[in-house]
């Protein structure tokens, strides 16, 4: 990518898109194209086609998606399927029509079968049944991978896909009903500390294992892949290390400085027992994460404190 290239970041206000924008700006890319959802509704086929015709981006980071934690995914099943399918389809078709040079599509580790062997190798896609709580989101993300593969095979488009593990960082969603576990725990422990509550409620049994990658590391990997990688097979992005939800909760509790107890609400779902990424492929390409979980949690708690009014409405 030339520093003057016209680069469209779809979803630039989200945690992933905003991290990609910070990374590109830091690297000296000067021609970034961005639209808020009120300026451009990515679910509107005609609006997306017109936008690509007018702006003619050369590179596209497809980080726009409807995302959420285990509860939101399970409740808003139609929206998670429809919104994500149509956003991907509109952007990928418009990119093809207007001759975009390269596109990076972002998926998720939930595309893998619920009971796939661990760690998750890219080859395990479509070898078994999905986790029911986020099946609609996963089906949409699998469709996105398949769109990139099909446009490559039929039209010769250089569209690549990256599958990040669970992410955290600036501009995360801190809404307790909609968020993922890590931001939820930061907020819950922080509020419990401020209000002198004796305990904090944590969902499930605490035994599921999850891997966490800082959004800045993901952005670094995305720019790396955009510059270095041109193959059909999608690439996992993670740290290759996971912790139990109980270990995560203890670590967040410690970073926030809450001194009360954890109460496990086992009426809430555990979800997939484990989803640890096999990151050999990206390691072999020459990329590795930089932020370890403890440092990332400390950085993220500081960011939460600085932006609490924005994050908690």
- Binding residues (CB under 6 A) for ligand GDP: these are 69-70, 110, 134, 166, 179-181, 184, 202-204, 208, 210, 245, 268-272
Nearer to ligand GDP, 265 or 292 (CB): 265
Active site residue 301: no
- Minimum distance between the CB of residue 198 and ligand GDP, rounded to whole angstroms? 17
Q: Give the Cα separation of 259 and 254 in Å (integer).
A: 8
Nearer to ligand GDP, 66 or 180 (CB): 180
Angle CA 14–25–34, to nearest 5: 45
- Minimum distance between the CB of residue 271 and ligand GDP, rounded to whole angstroms? 3
Nearer to ligand GDP, 57 or 238 (CB): 238
- Minimum distance between the CB of residue 217 and ligand GDP, rounded to whole angstroms? 18
Which segments of 76-213 does DSSP mark as H helices, in order? 77-97, 135-155, 181-194
Q: Give the Cα separation of 248 and 143 in Å (integer).
A: 31
Q: Give the Cα separation of 81 and 72 in Å (integer).
A: 12
**Is omega for the bond preceding 119 within 30 degrees of 0, making it cis?**
yes
- Are the C-beta atoms of 242 and 209 separated by less than 8 Å? yes
120 token code pair: 């998750």
- Minimum distance between the CB of residue 185 and ligand GDP, rounded to whole angstroms? 6
Nearer to ligand GDP, 56 or 263 (CB): 263
**Active-site residue, from 137, 159, 174, 229:** 137
Nearer to ligand GDP, 90 or 171 (CB): 171
Residues in the chain: 313
293 token code pair: 């979980």
226: helix, strand or coil: helix
- Minimum distance between the CB of residue 108 and ligand GDP, rounded to whole angstroms? 8
Catalytic positions, written as ranges: 137
């Amino acid at each position: 990518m030339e520093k003057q290239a016209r680069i469209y970041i779809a979803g630039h206000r989200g945690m992933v898109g905003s991290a990609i924008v910070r990374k590109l700006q830091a690297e000296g890319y000067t021609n970034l194209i961005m639209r808020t959802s009120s300026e451009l509704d990515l679910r509107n086929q005609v609006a997306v086609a017109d936008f690509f015709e007018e702006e003619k981006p050369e590179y596209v980071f497809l980080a726009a998606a409807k995302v959420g934690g285990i509860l939101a995914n399970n409740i808003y099943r139609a929206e998670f399927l429809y919104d994500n399918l149509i956003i991907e389809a509109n952007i990928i078709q418009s990119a093809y029509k207007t001759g975009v040079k390269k596109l990076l599509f972002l998926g998720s580790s939930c595309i893998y079968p619920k009971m796939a062997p661990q760690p998750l190798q890219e080859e395990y896609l479509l070898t078994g049944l999905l986790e029911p709580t986020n099946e609609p989101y996963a089906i949409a993300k699998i469709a996105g991978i398949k769109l990139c593969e099909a446009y490559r095979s039929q039209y010769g488009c250089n569209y690549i896909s990256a599958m990040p593990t669970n992410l955290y960082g600036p501009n995360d969603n801190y809404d307790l009903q909609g968020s993922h576990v890590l931001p939820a725990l930061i907020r819950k422990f922080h509020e419990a500390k401020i209000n002198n509550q004796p305990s904090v409620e944590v969902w499930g049994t605490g035994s599921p294992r999850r891997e966490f990658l800082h959004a800045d590391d993901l952005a670094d990997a995305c720019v790396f892949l955009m510059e270095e990688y041109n193959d059909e097979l999608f690439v996992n992005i993670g740290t290759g290390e996971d912790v139990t939800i109980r270990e995560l909760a203890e670590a967040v509790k410690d970073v926030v400085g809450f001194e009360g107890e954890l109460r496990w609400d086992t009426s809430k779902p555990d979800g997939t027992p484990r989803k640890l990424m096999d990151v050999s492929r990206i390691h072999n390409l020459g990329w590795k994460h930089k932020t370890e979980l403890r440092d990332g949690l400390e950085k993220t708690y500081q960011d939460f404190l600085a932006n609490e009014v924005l994050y908690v409405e």
